[in-house]
Structure 1
């Protein structure tokens, strides 16, 4: 089942629980200490398992050193794509890619707000066209009634 969904989504990497766990461990290895990794994944403290997931590069070390000195990495901001999207109105936590608050409903992104505004403009345009069409039909109906009255005389 997972393979079918992955294929439809265009994911070409392995889709199985082992790969999910390995990917998560690799991701957290750059953010947790080794003892935190052991605790999180249920490994014995002092285990060599975290070493399998800690892949340091010079760039990682430079970024951590800069962060230690209060310098934010401009090329790779720490904005997680998996962080919950918090509603400014009700503080509810929404899905990371949610466009609207699931609790109170307002737009959470600029794009969603623009979509709403475009929708409102489109509705207003359609309402104006409806009024014009009704006025046109009323005038045609009046003309038809006048013709009928003239024919009856």
Structure 2
């Protein structure tokens, strides 16, 4: 939930320390240190704050916020098969010359996180092409693009100021953005405002505004379903490109070209 709601890059979240999670009268926040020269930022958490506090109560070096002795400890640590505190070797590669003592501050590695994430996706029967951790980031960015401006989205996502990356997500949500404007000003289309829709599959009558049938769950509009699938394909492609580091390289190349042609 934290990875999704914060729209963090997995590496940013895994390198966070306990002190990077804070809470005040405005809510819960997570500080994310940018990777490979990308900007740092502090993103608000609405639903993920409570699970993090619950995790901290079980954390080997955690406890209640404000009463934790070492807030420089990693936020995400292994709870089993930790490396040795004395020599730093793994449990299975440990030398007999050293007495093994588990390290409670053994930070969770990306490989361990990736395997746990994959296992969770398999249990939930999520298709294999949707099991990339970066999918959560790009799904979240697509959602918040409906109400954030370009620079707000750049800051939230950890992109450099002036990046064109935000335009991709706003374009994906163009219809949603226009609907948000209509909702903000209380505007409605007269056409189809109070009309109902019959399901093309089972014939059940559904109120306007619903995208799926309340009886059989199938799409009421095949056109809308196709648009949703196309959007999801774009999100998956973006997730794949960012996971491989391609998007960052393209952005660096654009900056080099801009500086070469003032």
- Does TM, normalized by the shorter one, top 0.5? no
Q: Which has the higher helix share?
A: 1
Per the normalisation by structure 1, the TM-score is 0.41
Structure 2 length as normaliser, TM-score?
Answer: 0.25
Q: Which entry has the higher C-alpha Rg, 1 or 2?
A: 1
Which protein has the bigger strand share? 2
